[in-house]
């Protein structure tokens, strides 16, 4: 995990929704530096089903080495935000960092979304983020290294992320649009960035949506805490970015991501808005008893740009990019897999890739239906290959099903074609000058 550097010692962080989950994890990470944490959240009394209150979180923060100020704040109530900010400034002398973490979710279609639920999401996610930022900004502008960090996704305009939960997507993208606008408006004074996870994160909300057992496909909140810490310790010139947690931590030198997994080695569930196939997300959640609200989210069509991995977001860009070459290659391979293919080959191939978009990927041609993806394969690999991402893309450029039930993946080499056969679990190679191969 990312080590603490002490850079947040004495800094004051105002964190919404910090009584549990991701908000509390970010608070505890900063507390290890000796930071002051304003816990701006609603839960003052123990909840019937949800763990933690602002007071239990305060005890944990102080035990970790920080100073805590628990404040009862419903971000739908402007007066409560104003009172908490004033109390924070009076107690700690100012505010250096704002983390807009509080969020509401209802995964329902337009006709199924009750007005009160739509109002809740708009009020908490968009209006709450905007108001809290507005109220904190006069104090943030006085800080030497001020930051606003919104827990919101890159602005992926693929219609598939709108059609099944339009209100929720609008509300989360509203948070992201605050990043776009405020980053430019306060450039040079306050850094404004967004952070989003590459995979599902195990929180109380995920537990309710995904059902029992979904945690095995999730990462801990620690990965977002580490990524947030990395952003918040950067200079304020780092602004206007939509950051994906794993991509940033890889750039920081983190290589072992199993430490963040609930069940190390288990395949992970991709998060929303990153062009992983919604059908795959839904199917995996339903396998673990997804809630009825989520089961109603049947994804009936494929996105225009399908992918097996979250697209890596350029930290200097305010918009999501197309699929990476590696992810696109696996997308093509996935589309060519057939049941006959799987029956004939019966092999699982694991790829350890280095460089851009590196990591562990797999092609499963043994399990029923076959699959490809990012992470370790669902069953033990028969073959493990290590190479650079660039070499992988060069090598696996075309996938051609032949009558002989083998997969041919080829690349051009000085006019000839270097052919790789995945045949009954073995990889063979040959050089030929024709695109039609007999075997």
Name which residue leads in pLDDT, 16 or 274: 16
Element (H, E) at 201: none
Q: Are 219 and 261 in contact (CB under 8 A)?
A: yes
Position 363 pLDDT exceeds 60: yes
Say what the pLDDT of residue 121 is.
Answer: 97
pLDDT tens string 145-187: 999 999 999 999 999 999 999 999 999 999 999 999 999 999 9
Cβ(94)–Cβ(14) under 8 Å? no
Residue 285 confidence (pLDDT): 53
Residue of higher predicted confidence among 296 and 325 = 325
pLDDT of residue 437: 36
Burial class (CB in 10 A: 0-12, 13-18, 19+), 351: buried
Question: pLDDT tens, 108-151?
Answer: 999 999 999 999 999 999 999 999 999 999 999 999 999 999 99
Average pLDDT over residues 328-355: 78
CA angle 128, 132, 134 (to 5 degrees): 120
Q: Which residue has the higher pLDDT, 399 or 341?
A: 341
pTM exceeds cut of 0.95 = no
The pLDDT score that the predictor gives to residue 279 is 52
Cβ-Cβ contacts under 8 Å for 144 (sequence gap 6 or more): 96
Beta-carbon contacts of residue 89 (< 8 Å; ≥ 6 apart):
95, 139
Banded model confidence at residue 103, pLDDT cuts 50, 70, 90:
very high
Tokens linked to 291: 């809630």
pLDDT band at 323 (very low <50, low <70, confident <90, very high): low
Whole-number pLDDT of residue 266: 86
User: Mean pLDDT over residues 20-49, rounded?
Assistant: 95
Q: What percent of the chain has pLDDT over 70?
A: 77
Question: What's the residue count for the chain?
Answer: 439
What mean pLDDT is reported for the chain? 81
pLDDT of res. 281: 55
Instruction: For 290-316, give the DSSP string.
Output: --HHHHT----S--SS-BSSPPPPPTT
The pLDDT tens digits for 241-265 are 999 999 999 999 999 999 999 999 8
Enclosing H/E stretch for 56: helix 54-63
Q: What average pLDDT does this structure show over 29-52?
A: 94
- Region 419-436 average pLDDT: 41
In whole angstroms, give the CA distance from residue 215 to residue 436: 46
Give the per-residue pLDDT at 241: 97
CB atoms within 10 A of CB 82: 14
CA 19 – CA 38 distance, rounded (Å)? 10
Q: What is the mean pLDDT of residues 338-350?
A: 79
CA dihedral 434, 435, 438, 439 (to 10 degrees): 110
pLDDT band at 376 (very low <50, low <70, confident <90, very high): confident
* pLDDT greater than 80 at residue 66: yes
* Residue 34 contacts residue 66 (beta carbons within 8 Å): yes
Q: Which residue has the higher pLDDT, 155 or 408?
A: 155
Q: State the catalytic residues.
A: 168
């Amino acid at each position: 995990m990312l080590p603490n550097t002490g850079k947040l010692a004495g800094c004051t962080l105002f964190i919404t929704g910090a009584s549990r989950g991701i908000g509390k994890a970010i608070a505890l990470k900063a507390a290890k530096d000796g930071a002051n944490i304003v816990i701006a959240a609603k839960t003052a009394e123990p909840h019937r089903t949800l763990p933690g209150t602002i007071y239990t979180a305060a005890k944990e923060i102080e035990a970790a080495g920080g100073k805590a100020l628990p404040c009862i704040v419903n971000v739908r109530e402007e007066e409560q935000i104003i009172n908490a900010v004033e109390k924070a400034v009076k107690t700690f002398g100012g505010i250096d960092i704002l983390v807009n973490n509080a969020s509401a979710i209802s995964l329902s279609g337009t006709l199924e979304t009750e007005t009160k639920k739509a109002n809740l999401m708009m009020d908490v996610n968009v209006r709450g983020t905007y108001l809290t930022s507005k109220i904190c900004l006069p104090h943030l502008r006085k800080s030497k290294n001020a930051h606003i960090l919104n827990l919101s996704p890159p602005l992926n305009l693929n219609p598939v992320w709108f059609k099944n939960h339009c209100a929720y997507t609008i509300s989360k993208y509203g948070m992201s649009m605050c990043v776009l606008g405020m980053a430019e408006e306060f450039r040079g004074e306050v850094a404004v960035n967004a952070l989003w996870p590459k995979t599902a994160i195990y929180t109380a909300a995920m537990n309710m949506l995904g059902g029992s057992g979904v945690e095995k496909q999730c990462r801990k909140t620690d990965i977002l805490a580490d990524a947030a810490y990395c952003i918040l310790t950067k200079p304020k010139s780092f602004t206007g970015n939509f950051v994906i947690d794993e991509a940033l931590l890889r750039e920081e030198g983190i290589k072992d991501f199993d430490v963040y997994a609930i069940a190390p080695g288990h395949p992970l569930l991709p998060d929303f808005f990153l062009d992983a196939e919604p059908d795959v997300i839904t199917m995996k959640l339903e396998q673990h008893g997804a809630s009825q609200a989520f089961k109603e989210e049947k994804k009936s069509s494929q996105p225009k740009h399908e992918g097996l991995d979250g697209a890596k977001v350029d930290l200097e860009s305010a918009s999501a990019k197309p699929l990476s070459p590696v992810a696109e290659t696996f997308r093509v391979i996935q589309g060519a897999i057939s049941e006959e293919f799987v029956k004939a080959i019966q092999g699982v191939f694991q790829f350890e890739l280095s460089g851009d978009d590196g990591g562990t990927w797999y092609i499963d041609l043994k399990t029923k239906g076959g699959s490809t993806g990012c992470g370790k394969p669902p069953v033990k690999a028969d073959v493990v290959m290590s190479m650079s991402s660039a070499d992988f893309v060069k090598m696996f450029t075309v996938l051609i099903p032949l009558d002989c039930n083998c997969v041919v993946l080829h690349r051009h080499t000085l006019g000839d074609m270097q052919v790789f056969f995945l045949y009954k679990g073995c990889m063979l190679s040959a050089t030929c000058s024709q695109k039609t191969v007999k075997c």
